[in-house]
Every structure is written in structure tokens, then in C-alpha cells.
Amino acid sequence: MSQLQDNNNLIVYCELTDEGRVADVSLELLTKGKELAKKLGVKLEAVVVGSNLQNIEDQIFPYGADTVYKVEDARLFPYTSNPHAAVLINLFRQIKPQVCLMGATCIGRDLGPRVSSCLHSGLTADCTALEIGPHKDPKTGKEYTDLLYQIRPAFGGNIVATIVNPDCRPQMATVREGVMRKEIFDPNHRGEVITLDAAEYVKPEDFVVEIIDRHIESSKVNIKNSPIIIAGGYGVGSKENFDLLYELANTLGGEVGASRAAVDAGFCEHERQIGQTGVTVRPKLYIACGISGQIQHVAGMQESSIVISINSDPNAPINSIADYVIVGEVEDVIPKLIKYYKKNSK
């Protein structure tokens, strides 16, 4: 095992999919982590825990990582809480990272609190943005530099809070999938691979839980990766009117999404919900139909390339972020769009 030295780096926990590849949310965090590490003047590091990790670094280095720590053991995949937490806790005590980022997935939401609680470091969950900046404690007057701004919606999404952790390390945050961009830093970039002995980080008693069998049902909806999304809100009026959105989506080759209000009203299923309590999307075209544009929904689609709003209210908040606004009733406008695109599409 390579000699580890105390450092002050930024580290990303790279989650693995069921197919054994690095999850998209981890690649998004590596992209953002490279930007933050540059501002801090530190290295970007990644840690991968699992089995069959041969050449896993080839998926990570192009996104800018300078070091990849690999902890490999057949019992570490698929994910179970205790051994993964033990690995990170003991590793972080050695390498002393300044910042640790994880995806706000089922795994990250389980693992993050376990690690932060044991290290007494604190954790900000479900962040939608991360920045580096200074901070002055209003009570003590003490000034800090180069802190991680952990930004997330708060109080039901009515405000956006910026949270800092001045004194405890690592500064830990989980980040929602899709809110950061995934961009290759350099396809030829390479760094150091440090292979660690799992036996030095986990004990036999950490494997008290054994996975006997797994049943995984693939999602029937994939709005996150759709380049075109037709999203409906409460203003669509009914589940029957949502059929118009499905017809338009089929015409354009897109997917249908919904606001929380539409889902709560029973107009659409929850797996299509976009926003703070749903999924985050960044399509090339986002058509918002009957959506008022509350901050909770906007947080999930504001990175869309082009936004078209169809709304009967000319003063709806969604119109302020839309590139194009069509004022009118959804049931009148959508059929005209369908007719036009069917006529003019090859």
C-alpha cells in the first residue's frame, strides 16, 4: 500500500451503478469538484469502494481527478451501509480532506450522515449549488477564507439558504443529481492510483448484514435524459388534458414531466415530477404548460437551454425565466402546436 500523507484536499465519493460503472452524479461532482479544487488550490481526489475495480480509474481521470483511492473487496459490492461507512471514516481520518462531496442518492443519503456523524463534521443535504468564498461570524467577528458555500432550498423551498461549516472538517455535502454539469476535463488526463487494503479499513463485524438476493425493477420513465420535456402544472386542469401533453411529446420525440401540484392533484405519476422534491432536468427544450413557476419547481429545470411557457396568466413567475411566452389556455394552444408540428415534421 502506498504511504499516505496528511493533506487538505477535496474528495469525491464515486458511487457505482449496478453495472459497476461510475454513476453520473459522481461524474457531475468530479466536474464541479475540479472547479472548486482549483479555487482552493488543492488536489481533486476520488475514492471508489467495491469489487472488480480494475481500470475504474479510466472513467474518473478524464473528469480531472488527480488521485483515485481504490478499496476493493468482493463483499463491498453491492453497497451495504456499515462497511462502506467504515472505509470512509477510517480513510478520512488518515488523509484529512478539507471537503467531501457525495451524490444525494439513496446511497449518498444513507452513507453521508453515517460518516459525518462519526467524524463530527456536519453535513448539508440535497445541495443545488456549491461555491467557494469568505465568511465572517457575526457573533465573534472572526473571519474565514475559502469556505465551501453549501447552497440549497430551505423552508419548503421558499428561500435559498447558503450554509457554511467554518470549524469542522471535512466540510460535507450531498448534491442532487442533474444540478451540476458533467463535462470531461481532459480525455488524456491521468493521475495517481492508490490501492488500499480493505482489511485495514473494515472489520469482520462490519459485515453483519449480508445481501442474499436483489430484485431491481428498471424505471419505465427516463425524463432526466430527454432532450425535450413537455411539463404540465395544476393549470393544465385535469388528467384528461394531460393526454394532450403526451400527444405533443410523442410528436416532438420528448417526455412528459409535471409539477408537484399536478402530481398531488393526480394528473400525473410521481416519477415524472420535476423540482425540489422530484428530479432535476436540463433538456434542450422545456415547454412549461400551466405551471406557475414556484421556486421549488424552477430549482429542477432552470438549467434548460430553451424554456417556452404556455400560461393563461401573463404575470406567472415562470414567464420571467422563459425565453418565449405564449399567453393562452393550454387546451387551446397545445392542439395547434400538435397540428403544426405534425404538418411540418418529416
- Which CATH number characterizes residue 53's domain? 3.40.50.620
Do 238 and 201 fall into the same domain?
no
Do 35 and 73 fall into the same domain?
yes
Do 249 and 100 fall into the same domain?
no
pLDDT in tens, 258-283: 999 999 999 999 889 998 778 889 89
Does this model's pTM top 0.85? My answer is: no
Higher pLDDT, 176 or 99: 99
Question: Mean pLDDT across the stretch 68-80?
Answer: 89
Question: Mean pLDDT across the stretch 198-210?
Answer: 84
Residue 154 within a domain: yes
Do 201 and 235 fall into the same domain?
no
Do 176 and 265 fall into the same domain?
no
Contact 87, 113 (CB under 8 A): no
Residue 300 within a domain: yes
Question: Mean pLDDT across the stretch 212-237?
Answer: 83
Which CATH number does the domain housing residue 284 bear?
A: 3.40.50.1220
- The confidence score (pLDDT) of residue 79 equals 86
Q: Out of 90-94, 192-196, 293-297, pick the least confident.
A: 293-297
Residue 220 within a domain: no
Do 197 and 58 fall into the same domain?
yes
Residue 4 has pLDDT above 60, yes or no: no
Residue 217 within a domain: no
Q: Which residues constitute the domain of residue 81?
A: 10-207
Q: State how many domains the chain has.
A: 2
Do 53 and 185 fall into the same domain?
yes
Mean residue pLDDT across the chain: 89
Do 79 and 197 fall into the same domain?
yes
Do 201 and 115 fall into the same domain?
yes
Do 299 and 196 fall into the same domain?
no
- The confidence score (pLDDT) of residue 217 equals 67
Do 190 and 41 fall into the same domain?
yes
Do 161 and 244 fall into the same domain?
no
Higher pLDDT, 261 or 211: 261
